[in-house]
């Protein structure tokens, strides 16, 4: 549940905002004094903070800049005076939005929701990193299904890729040709275990400097292959 802090000295307004936000499933905390509101905004984690400008103890301008020293929490400033909006802009306080009293509570709720979803989008880890395996100059990007040797891309067929990725994901494990065939081809009932040998040869031509002295896929005579790490 999202937690919202309202710093507002007019109790009726604070309660009205709280009621509307609670109807939209927000958890709401009210502070009526500027200093205690600022302290709470800094000590606790809120998802969004609504700050009135004229407050006892510390005004909204000061609270806003104080919060911005350490936090990026979305801030909506509310003010009774339209002129204050220019001042907010002029001071560059880092408020995300402002509203002039009187405003409709449902408008406030709509803006709160908009800022929360925007903030969550911005702070989400963004594009997830590709799942890659990197060993001595060989890079296997399992997400994009691409293979690079010293940053140069090598073109792999689907099965060559599957076979290399499988071996690299299970390094130092010796697999027989039968096991590899079963793992990569079984469901397609095409080819036989000689297919494995052919594919290993092709993969080596792409990733090994010398196919006779492979650095990545090692032949274990009489047993099978293993990916060396």
Question: Measured from the CB atom, is 9 or 15 closer to Ca ion?
Answer: 9
In terms of phi and psi (left: phi > 0; alpha: psi -120 to 50; beta: otherwise), the region of 223 is alpha
Rg of the chain taking only CA atoms, in angstroms: 31
- Is residue 215 a contact partner of residue 149, using CB atoms and an 8 Å limit? no
In angstroms, the CA 7 to CA 33 distance is 7
Question: Measured from the CB atom, is 79 or 139 closer to Ca ion?
Answer: 79
The H-or-E segment that residue 121 falls in is helix 105-123
Q: Which spans of this chain sit near Ca ion (rule: CB under 5 A)?
A: 9, 52, 54
The 3 state secondary structure assigned to 13-25 is HHHHHHHHHHHCC
Q: Prior bond to 30 cis, omega within 30?
A: no
Question: Measured from the CB atom, is 73 or 79 closer to Ca ion?
Answer: 79
Minimal distance in Å, beta carbon 32 to Ca ion? Answer: 9
Minimal distance in Å, beta carbon 10 to Ca ion? Answer: 5
Question: Measured from the CB atom, is 42 or 54 closer to Ca ion?
Answer: 54
Task: Using CB atoms within 10 Å of the CB of residue 7, give its burial: 0 to 12 exposed, 13 to 18 middle, 19+ buried.
Answer: buried
Q: Among all residues, whose Cβ is closest to Ca ion?
A: 54
Minimal distance in Å, beta carbon 85 to Ca ion? Answer: 15
Minimal distance in Å, beta carbon 34 to Ca ion? Answer: 9
Minimal distance in Å, beta carbon 16 to Ca ion? Answer: 14
Question: Measured from the CB atom, is 11 or 170 closer to Ca ion?
Answer: 11
> Structure tokens of 114?
């908009």
Minimal distance in Å, beta carbon 133 to Ca ion? Answer: 59
Angle made by CA atoms 184, 210, 133, in degrees to the nearest 5: 45
Question: Measured from the CB atom, is 54 or 85 closer to Ca ion?
Answer: 54
């Amino acid at each position: 549940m999202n937690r919202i802090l309202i710093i507002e000295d007019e109790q009726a307004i604070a309660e009205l905002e709280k009621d509307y936000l609670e109807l939209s499933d927000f958890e709401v905390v009210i502070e009526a004094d500027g200093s205690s509101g600022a302290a709470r905004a800094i000590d606790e984690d809120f998802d969004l903070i609504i700050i009135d400008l004229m407050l006892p103890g510390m005004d909204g301008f000061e609270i806003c800049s104080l919060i911005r020293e350490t936090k990026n929490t979305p801030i909506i400033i509310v003010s009774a005076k339209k002129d204050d909006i220019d001042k907010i802009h002029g001071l560059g306080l880092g408020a995300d939005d402002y509203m002039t009293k009187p405003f409709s509570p449902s408008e406030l709720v709509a803006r709160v929701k908009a800022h929360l979803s925007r903030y969550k989008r911005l702070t989400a880890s963004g594009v997830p990193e590709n799942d890659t395996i990197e060993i001595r100059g060989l890079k296997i990007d399992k997400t994009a299904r691409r293979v690079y040797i010293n940053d140069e891309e090598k073109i792999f067929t689907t099965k060559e890729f599957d076979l290399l990725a499988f071996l690299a994901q299970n390094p130092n494990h010796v697999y027989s040709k039968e096991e590899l065939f079963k793992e990569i081809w079984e469901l397609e009932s095409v080819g036989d275990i000689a297919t494995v040998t052919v594919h290993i040869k092709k993969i080596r031509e792409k990733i090994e400097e010398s196919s006779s002295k492979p650095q990545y896929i090692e032949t274990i005579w009489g047993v099978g292959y293993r990916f060396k790490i």
